[in-house]
Amino acid sequence: MIKPELFDLVELLVDLPEHNLIMGEKGTIVEDYNDGCYEIEFSNDLGETIALCSLPMQQFIVIWKAQNKTWLSLTEKLTALIDKLPKEKQQKVLDFTRSLYQ
């Protein structure tokens, strides 16, 4: 699992209608509360903050690491997504992936 750190870019895995945010929106970690929750800032194309949310790790994945200034590979992002799923859904992902070879 990739540990989220300050200033990493993350992508939402859920809709947050109370903040007008949808799955796939990107934000930046601006605070680590050391309890599994992170403060994430979402901004528009002008750099203006549109939402500031405290979110648990289960609601996002890291897609860019600030420390080494690198994007995560597709494999790393898929692994992060699958790791967050319950075991039975992980098995369904495996079964689906196998079906792609037929």
Per-residue confidence (pLDDT) for residue 80, from 0 to 100: 94
Question: Residue 38 burial (CB < 10 Å; 0-12/13-18/19+)?
Answer: buried
pLDDT in tens, 35-84: 999 999 999 999 999 999 999 999 999 999 999 999 999 999 999 999 99
Question: pTM value?
Answer: 0.89
